[in-house]
Structure 1
Amino acid sequence: MPFSYVEMMSGFGFSEFAELPDFTPVEPAPFDIPLSQARLGLFATVGAHLPTQRKFQPVNDLTFRMVPLDVPVAELEFDHPSPIRSFALEDLNVVFPRDRLVELQARGVFGELAPAAVSMLGSITKYRGLAEQTAPAIAEVVAEQGVDLMLMVPFCPACHRATHLISRALEAKGIPCVTMTALREMAEAFKPARPVFADFPLGATVGRPNHPEMQRSVLQTTLEVAAKPVRPWHITDLPQQWSVDRSWEDDVRKLYEAEGQEVHRARVRKHMAEGEGLAGRENELDVACGC
């Protein structure tokens, strides 16, 4: 069975926070040009930015930064304080795969990268603001860049919720997305178009740090999903494996347990006090974002 964030958080006493919605599948926007000719955009929620750009707030920051994709990840910073940030500290490409995308462009996998990525810190539970304000603004800048396909890369569990909701909004506004997830249950709950499940640890959605060949393989397989004929809603499972066993699941739990006594649990309580729930509000949020 895939790793379950809901199960883990329920064990910590936060079952209410972990409760998932049940959206209906969003109608896929047409993607009717060859992948090899497509302009690809990147959306990621690790809070990456240039050193000269304003930092993100750790909770419920509804703003985003446009990060030039001609800048290597070694020159970027990221602000997400999640317990699972160690993979990104080692290699930011695991959740902001700019360098790998540049390499795939050079190989002709897709036509070209859009000039700038849309970067957020996705620890967000103010969903109405995300749907009504942030998603339309993102759709506008993505359209201005002439993007044919968006690659959506979430980081932490809350980031998965924000990413999948924005993916639904972009799709409804005619912008095709292929949406990665390291939490299968999140894709099942939000049902974005073209979800792709990577059975990897949280915090390493694109693959192992400093394993460029694996990361390229994961990304190419993911992007090729968009080139396939539209089928009834389903999740595509990536064939790449993190390891032969699943000991990494215990490692993830230990990370949350170790920080969970203080920092992580404090952020969860802040979300619960200031944020909003999702279950039972699916239609309301679809209306708010135009889904």
Structure 2
Amino acid sequence: MHHFAEKASGRRNFLSLLLKTAGALLSVPGISLAVSNAHRYRDYTVQDIIDIVLEEIPGAPFKETVDTLKSGSAGQQVTGIVTTMFPTVSVIAETARRRANFIIAHEPTFYNHLDDPQWVANNQVVQQKQALLQRHGIAVWRFHDYWHTHRPDGIGYGVLKKAGWEQYYQPGERMLQMPPAALKDIVAHLQRSLGIAHVRVIGDPAQQCARIVLVPGAAGGKMQVSMVEQAHPDVLIVGEVHEWETAEYIRDARAMGAKTALVVLGHAVSEEPGMEWLVDWLQPKVPGLTVAHIPSGDPFTWH
């Protein structure tokens, strides 16, 4: 009995010493911060990352959205994150080479808006791509509706930032009021700053432009034409058009005396800067994980 009491007393003394030592360590500058933040440097699952992102999206989660997992599972541990426009075969291969396993992509993986693998029945390319993703254990999450809902719009702001035009942005406004410049100079600036080899233009290269509407991606002809009708900009800059809609409208409008020019950048290259900016936005929220951008690039060559 006496022996047991001695052992119990020894344990109490040891615990007391341990607590005092811990207290002393916590009083050392830097140590308390490391201990208190230790929980931040943890393993993340795909769902953890999604939840962190959605915390800053107004109204999220949405009842209906295309922003769903296209491959992988919500519970898998994330080894690294890649942002991109399209999760192309080359992007997937580079992601695997970097030993990352979570791609956040703005646009579809399987060639249609809903990523329905049966959009074209027995699609061999879809099946091969699914097998490639499975072989490398890569999860793909589409980040389209949510990123456009972020304030400011994550894609639009990323493009403005890369073009050096963010100072002209006014929350809630589509119009950028800028110092007058020739259309050809605006086009050259966009090509240089956004890294675009070729653009398509309807308009007079010497025309002075100060009122600019910038709508990257594929907003659709109805929205594009409506913006011109309402705002009467000097130039409408878009990602892509249905050639039988906005392009023909601009051509006829100019023939009848209107001054609005049209610049078509290309879908992928016009929105890529928004997914590049996602790296800066997301990296501080997931300490301990590497977040990197791999551009999907322009699929076209010009001859």
State the TM bucket, normalised to the shorter chain: under 0.3
TM-score by length of 1: 0.27
> Which is higher, the Rg of structure 1 or of structure 2?
2
The one of the two structures with greater contact order (alpha-carbon pairs below 8 A, sep at least 6) is 1
